[in-house]
Structure 1
Amino acid sequence: MPGTRSTSVPAALFTVPLVAVSLLGTTAAPAEATPSHSLKSLMCRGKGVDPDAHVRYRTEIVIHAPLRTIWKLQTDVERWPTWQAPVKTIERLDQGPLRQGSAFRWTTPVPPNPATPATSLDITSTVEQLKRNSCIRWTGPAVGEGLRIDGVHVWTFTRIEGGVRVRTEETHTGDQVEADVPAATEILAKGLEAWLRDLKTTAEARTHGQPA
């Protein structure tokens, strides 16, 4: 669920979806997308996205920042609104470091589209699997006027020379998104790409030349 963008659309539910719901367009370097069907699903502690979902997207980006910086940005969910403009409100439903079983509720706007009117999505995300500095998997529903999306979102973080490769994959199910899979997939893709770009921009800005 993602810096500054001009228009918001459902995307990373938990994803930050559920993570998430994101926006279109930033000036940062593009992420590196790979067709989801061509790769084995991302996994966190042996669990991946919904294998039966028709709406799915996977992408990745290299961030030139320390893993600890990237991990903190992604898991300090209460501070998402400071670097993801689409996240309007967020509330942790438990306390302490993000861990298996942690849950958080957040909201993000969605513009009108052919299937549903303009609305605000109320998302409840639950962390199902987590391995510190390695991976996160969360699930949950996003509910708005005339719209419900159930999502599964996986993130992995791998140290490489000069930085960290961040991969993410998400699936959506629900009557509205399944009514137009290509359109729903495009919206999801734009949201995830924007999230990664915002994460990269923020993490690299906070690094101030520190070695990764």
Structure 2
Amino acid sequence: MPRTRSTRAALFALPLVIAGLLGTAAAPAGATPHPDRPLTCRGEGVDSKALVRSRIEAVIHAPLSTIWKLQTDVKRWPTWQTPVETVERLDHGPFRKGSAFRWTAPLPPNPATTATSLEVTSTVQQIKRNSCIRWTGPAIAEGLHIDGVHVWNFTKVKGGVLVRTEETHTGAQVEADVPTATKILHDGLEAWLSELKATAEARAGR
């Protein structure tokens, strides 16, 4: 699937998904995922009651340190994530529990709103270095308000790192059309993980 600004833009990260359509890729060699078990970070996961949900995974053939740096150096997201327009750290110092950042991306026309800009404010709730991140927060656009929970897991496997991500969205607008919201979220997660993989592997090959 081509990585376009329109498919990636509606992602809350903080990168509009739905529960019921679980997007889990086939398990790569060396991986032991549990498709029915929600991803967690320090015991906390996504919103179990959310109707909009998606989950995907991929093996990235690059050092874990490279992948972790790309994902947590949020101010540099626009250099490798095509749809991310701006990112502002709302705190200083190392990326840690309590770190917050505000980022924007274009939002394509959809049943809830016309084409506009999506503003996401994410706060790290749990983090374990080189292992997992969980952040939460609202994504807001004209006529649209989404509350999201996003979990990332990083596990070393033979030949690389298994990166798994799961996200849920709640809000009246996305819940009014769960299939559409789920597809937008799923496409966004696929694009995010694809760009993370491409960038990390390119750097590892230098």
Q: TM-score, normalised by structure 2?
A: 0.88
Query: Equivalent residue of 2:167, what SS?
Result: strand
Following superposition of structure 1 onto structure 2, how do residues 75-114 of structure 1 map, counting pairs within 5 Å? Answer: 75-114=72-111
Q: Judging changes above 3 Å, is the alpha-carbon distance between structure 1 residues 11 and 119 closer, same or farther for their aligned structure 2 residues? A: closer
Identity of aligned residues (%): 67
The alpha-carbon distance between structure 1 residues 185 and 76, as it changes in their structure 2 partners (threshold 3 A), is same
Deviation at 1:176, TM superposition (A): 0.6
Q: Are 1:20 and 2:15 matched, yes or no?
A: yes
Instruction: Identify the residue that residue 43 of structure 1 maps to in structure 2.
Output: 40
Say whether residues 1:163 and 2:160 are aligned partners.
yes
- 2:201 corresponds in structure 1 to 204
Structure 2 unaligned residues grouped into runs of 5+: 17-22, 27-33
Partners in 1 of 2:58 and 2:158 — Cα distance? 14
Alpha-carbon shift at residue 119 of structure 1 (Å): 1.0
The structure 2 residue matched to 1:133, chosen from 126, 130, 133, is 130
The one of 57, 63, 69 equivalent to 1:66 is 63
Letter in 1 for 2:92: Q
1:33 to 25, 31, 41: 25
Pick closer, same or farther for the CA change 1:72–1:160 going to 2, 3 Å: same
| Structure 1 residue 96: Cα displacement | 1.3
Structure 2 partner of 1:194: 191
Shift of 1:172: 0.2
AA aligned opposite 2:121:
T
- Matched AA of 1:33: A
RMSD: 1.9
Letter in 1 for 2:190: E
4+ long deviations beyond 2 Å: 3-12, 31-34
Q: CA deviation at 1:97?
A: 1.5
Measured in 1, the distance between the counterparts of 2:4 and 2:98 equals: 31
Does the 8 Å contact 1:91/1:104 carry over to 2?
A: yes
Is the contact between residue 106 and residue 118 of structure 2 (CA under 8 Å) also seen in structure 1?
yes
Residue 103 to residue 78, structure 1, CA distance change in 2 (3 Å): same
- Structure 1 counterpart SS, 2:41: coil
> Secondary structure, in 3 states, of the residue corresponding to 1:204?
helix
1:185 aligns with 2:177: no
1:154 aligns with 2:146: no
Shift of 1:6: 4.5
Say which SS state the counterpart of residue 155 (structure 1) adopts: strand
Letter in 1 for 2:118: L
Partners in 2 of 1:12 and 1:98 — Cα distance?
Answer: 21
Q: Aligned residue for 1:26?
A: none
Count of aligned pairs between the two proteins: 192
Unaligned runs of 5+ residues in structure 1 are: 22-30
* CA shift for structure 1 position 8: 4.2
Matched, 1:145 2:137: no
Quick check: 1:12–1:170 contact (8 Å CA) kept in 2? no
TM-score normalised by L of structure 1: 0.86
